[in-house]
Copies of this chain bind each other. A is one copy, B any other.
């Protein structure tokens, strides 16, 4: 097991990554928060609970009160939040209650948001069950839900008291979700950890074969990168924006495909291809680096084929949360292991990058 410390002005907590964490969760949580309060809630989804409830419950003297969120982005809504808050109130939750978010990224985002706003804030624990949630969304305190107008338009910053990333639960994760999650690890390497890029190049088979040691290494490195960035810039004043490499175009692809065709990590994968192309055109990465990174993205693919027109995707980049006062912000890699945020990307540059990416995406067969 590896322990990564997250240290921000508003919260300090540990992320534990390793095997066998679920089976000893009760005592592990007590080590963090002290004696468990009268009401402990666990927010989860039915498929996760069907697989893991026995292991989960085995270490709790009293079973937590179970709250269910239906799977899928379509349920990451204020309507779900209201129903769940009411269930918490009905069950006698008070300010001292604890919430455990046990599931993928959506469960984590919704669970964290419930904890952020129930009685103006209660403590919570993240127990992410997907690769993506383990390396990305469970760390950093960003929580929230979607509006029909766009993803994650509603939310808060609310850090968990601890994160338990159990590699064992990844054994039941569908192949496609693992690969999509690995896109965020690639992103972590590209923007800030050259050694992680190298490791992922050399250990493709071990990682995709879910070798425990390889997974722990990639997960811990990804979390360490994120913890470091969040430590330096908790509220996304500047540095934290680099975590959005591939996300401007990625979000646009998700929106243009109605959030149905692509997993988030897949959209980010294609978004990174566009960002790398733009960076290569600008010369912040070399042609050789571009080829190397593009190849690596596809090694952890294949990314799904896309049939979209350039103007549609470019238009969809307009609603990005990073845009303030109409300025379009864009994260560009600088070599391998560094990145910066630019505000002067021209429409022509964006069109060229999206055009290149969509050409690649049209040729794929999946």
Contact = CB atoms under 8 A, between A and B. Distances in A.
Interface in A84-143: 85-86, 89-90, 94-96, 116-121, 142
Interface string A148-178: 1110111111000000000000000000000
Instruction: Count chain B CB atoms within 10 A of each CB in A81, A95, A153 and give the residue with the most.
Output: A153
Nearest to A323: B94
Interface string A253-270: 000000000000000000
A87 to B, nearest CB: 10
Contact of A120 (B37, B81, B95, B155): B155
A358 to B, nearest CB: 27
A166 B290 CA distance: 60
Given A96-B324, A119-B155, 20 more contacts: A10-B10, A37-B325, A38-B326, A78-B81, A78-B85, A82-B147, A85-B153, A85-B154, A86-B147, A89-B149, A89-B150, A90-B149, A116-B156, A119-B153, A119-B154, A120-B155, A120-B156, A120-B157, A121-B157, A156-B156
Contact of A153 (B89, B149, B150): B89
Given A86-B148, A86-B149, A147-B85, A156 B325 contact: no
Contacts of A155: 117, 119-120
Contacts of A94: 321, 323-325
B78 A324 contact: no
A132 to B, nearest CB: 20
Contacts of A335: none
Nearest to A118: B154
A144 interface: yes
A117 B144 contact: yes
Contacts of A86: 147-149
A77 to B, nearest CB: 9
Nearest to A37: B325
B89 A121 contact: no
Contact of A324 (B95, B116, B321, B323): B95
A255 to B, nearest CB: 13
A10 B120 CA distance: 15
Contacts of A120: 142, 144, 152, 155-157
